[in-house]
Structure 1
Amino acid sequence: MPIDPQSALITIQAGLAQLSSLIVSYSFSAIGAVILLIVGYLVAGLAERSIYAGLGHIHGFDETLRHFFSQVVRYGILILVVIMVLGQFGVQTASIIAAIGAAGLAIGLALQGTLQNIAAGIMLLALRPFRIGEYVEVGAIAGSIEEIGLFATKLRTVEGIYILAPNQTLWNQPVRNFTRNGVRRTDISVSIGSWNDIDRGQKTLLAIANAEKRVRREPAPIAFIAGLGESTVSLTLRYWTSAADYFATQIDMIKRAKLAFDNEGISIPLPPPEIPSQEVP
């Protein structure tokens, strides 16, 4: 069947007109979507900072919860922006919600371990066994808390090493929090010769403890005999300091105990020399 040139031209012109209309329409939609994404991203960041700053004005509000609620607001706004962008291209909101639900179910089944980390993160934020800035020990993990997220917690060790620990690991083991109570006890043990005046040694240890301003007066420091050897007596000085002063005070007190014993003439016995073994002919 011969093709009518005039009809073909009319059909091509109609198709080009429709294509041009679609290009113009979707171009405006694409530009609007880009603008919406940029504005939404900026608004989400501004809302996060505003919520974080606003909660900071509430007396006694925990630092960890400030981070959590500000991040929830940020991600909530970003999800809303993505749904609005998809709506720019004619996608039905109900379909989006249904797709998100189905995707969430599939992801939940595939990432059960990740969901356990999220559940553990929520429990950590709710019960707060540790807060940002506190020094904790959980199993083989030890360090200062820097950030508690929904999936993992960031820590920094005393050597300055960065640790990212899954929340499930921190939740399923006992937590030793060295900062929470605000004070810590320290025991310094010194072995002296049994021929020395033991009472004098105890008084010397108490004197250096009472002279240190960082040592708390309540409970009062005490010095006692911790053990007896064949030719030695082990004396222990027990005192309390604030958690922040624990390490610095311990270092200074050990040095002062050594210098005080030297000044008092209290000798710290050296280990006996090793006797070389004789070979049996």
Structure 2
Amino acid sequence: MTQTAIGWGLKAVGALIVFLIGVWIAGRMRATVFSAVRRAPNLDETLAKFFGSIVYWLVFAFVVIAVLSMFGIQTTGLAALIGAAGLAIGLALQGTLSHVASGVMLLAFRPFRVGDYIEAGGKAGTVKSINLFTTELATPDNVQNIVPNGDIFSGPITNYSGYDTRRVDFSVGIGYDADIDQAMEVLRGEIDKDNRVMADPEPLLVVGELGDSSVNLTIRVWCQRPDYWGLKFDLSKAFKQALDRENITIPFPTRTLHVETMAKPN
């Protein structure tokens, strides 16, 4: 009995030492993976923590199996049981795991970043956070939308903040009796006054369409992305006021109605 107790005691001490060393190694490997992924320029800190946790729990599982084998426990069946349980859990969480995989892809490839205004997964808004399961969007009127990553990554993603510059389009209608060259000169003057309009690419001002009741002038100017909405609102107002000063009317849609009088039967 004494020899048996000593043998089990030595095994317990050895198992404890192996366990502690294994946990230390798992922690060191997690920190190493975290630091390596974090140094990558295009990878997010959330992704670094995710990969670090995976490495930690894989090493921890091997350590537990090694400790159990030191006590003579057959770990082959245990490994098979863990594998079967993992498969069952994976099938049960198939949808959730797809969102995790999509989150990893979003964090790795970065089609958008926090602060960008995007349209994806049937929702549009400013990106507030990107997690492994979901992405949080805030609409312009500050309504929170939580969108599953699988819905975002499986469909088209429109990133309105993807480039530094944007084009602002206008369509201004003038009457058919108006002087087109005069109207274009007036509008060009308003464009040149605004220093937010970029010189390159050069602004475009052309006759875009001969409409039913108006001659539609197409205007396209480029600006820095943060100036988009301010420039659109201000120029829309400036165009209207400038045309009014020159007595150039912006016609309303009109419809001509012909009424025929039928003779009464005798």
TM-score normalised to the size of structure 1? 0.66
* Percent identity of paired positions between Structure 1 and Structure 2: 37
Letter in 1 for 2:46: H
Q: Indicate which of 201, 205, 211 corresponds to 2:183.
A: 201
Can you list the C-alpha shifts for 1:133-188, whole angstroms capped at 9, x where unaligned? 11111252111111111111111111211111111111111111111111111111
Report if aligned partners of 1:130, 1:177 keep a CA contact under 8 Å in 2: yes
Q: Deviations over 1:38-90 (max 9, x none)?
A: xxxxx9xxx9xx97xxx6xx7x945x6133324655x579969x99xxx9xxx
Q: Name the CA shift for 1:276/1:141 in 2 (closer, same or farther; >3 Å).
A: farther
Partner of 1:218: 200
The separation in 2 between residues aligned to 1:231 and 1:273, in whole angstroms, is 9
1:168 counterpart (108, 132, 150): 150
1:189, distance to aligned residue in structure 2 (A) = 0.8
What's the CA shift for 1:234? 0.6
Aligned to 2:44: 65
Once residues 100 and 207 of structure 1 are traced to their aligned partners in structure 2, the CA distance between those partners, rounded to angstroms, is: 74
Give the secondary structure class of the aligned counterpart of 1:190: strand
Query: In the alignment, does 2:137 pair up with 1:158?
Result: no
Please give the root-mean-square deviation of Cα atoms over the aligned residues, in Å. 3.9
Partner of 1:119: 101
Measure, in 1, the Cα distance between the counterparts of 2:88 and 2:212: 70
Q: Which runs of 5+ in 1 are unaligned?
A: 1-42
Distance, in Å, in 1 between the alignment partners of 2:126 and 2:169 is 23
Selected match of 1:250 from 229, 232, 250: 232
Q: Which runs of 5+ in 2 are unaligned?
A: 1-26
1:239 to 202, 211, 221: 221
Does the 8 Å CA contact 1:206/1:237 hold for their aligned counterparts?
no
Tell me the number of residue pairs that the alignment of Structure 1 and Structure 2 aligns. Answer: 224
- TM-score, normalisation: structure 2: 0.69
- Whole-angstrom CA distance in 2 between matches of 1:175 and 1:114: 21
Q: Secondary structure at the match of 2:215?
A: strand
Q: 2:243 is matched with which residue: 236, 247, 261?
A: 261
1:177 partnered with 2:159: yes
Hey, what does 2:117 align to over in structure 1? 135
Instruction: Give SS of 1:251's match.
Output: helix
